[in-house]
Structure 1
Amino acid sequence: MGLIKLMVLIAVVIGLVILWRRFKAWQITSQRQQPTPTNPPLMVRCAQCQLHLPRDQALRVNDQWYCCDAHRDAGRHD
């Protein structure tokens, strides 16, 4: 009876080691798939609607930033 318990214990330990290694491999794989932003885009706020958008997509008039032509034109008339 003692030999059977020892074999079951060894099987459980081997199973746990295998599961641990698979979990660690899965963690490493999932970390590689997530992109890490090196330089996030600079954000600005539209003077008309307060929407935040990347600076390279915004329209600038003097010191004001706008998200679209309509807001830029509306801002000129205010």
Structure 2
Amino acid sequence: MGLIKLFILLVLAYIAFVFWRQFKAAQAEKHRTPPQQPPRMVRCAQCQLHLPEDMALRQDDKWYCCSEHRDVDQQY
């Protein structure tokens, strides 16, 4: 009789362990942040430097890395 109780206890412990692992995996999945997209890169029309679009200056259809390059290109 004692062996049957031990077997039932082990099965219940295994079932509890499996449910606990699934619960923890679901929690980790919920708190995972989605992968971020890399920033779009543009090229300076003057010096050909590549930089992120949010750091570049745009004039007409051209991108510039700084106001000096934008101003030099506007003179020509």
How far apart are the structure 2 equivalents of 1:35 and 1:5?
A: 47
User: Highest CA radius of gyration, 1 or 2?
Assistant: 2
Query: Where does residue 31 of structure 1 map in the other structure?
Result: 29
How far apart are the structure 2 equivalents of 1:29 and 1:36?
A: 15
Q: Is the 8 A contact 2:41 2:50 kept in 1?
A: no
Q: Is the 8 A contact 2:42 2:50 kept in 1?
A: yes
**Structure 1 residue 57: Cα displacement:** 3.1
For residue 9 of structure 1, give the secondary structure of its aligned residue in structure 2: helix
Query: What value does the CA root-mean-square deviation take over the aligned residues?
Result: 3.4
Percent of aligned pairs with the same amino acid: 21
Whether 1:14 and 2:12 are equivalent positions in the alignment is: yes
Per the alignment, do residues 46 and 11 of structure 1 end up closer, same or farther by CA in structure 2, a change over 3 Å counting? farther
Query: Where does residue 43 of structure 1 map in the other structure?
Result: 40
How far apart are the structure 2 equivalents of 1:35 and 1:12?
A: 37
For residue 41 of structure 2, give the secondary structure of its aligned residue in structure 1: strand
Q: State how many pairs are aligned.
A: 69
Q: TM-score, normalised by structure 1?
A: 0.55
Structure 1: segments with no counterpart, 5+ residues? none
Structure 2: segments with no counterpart, 5+ residues? none
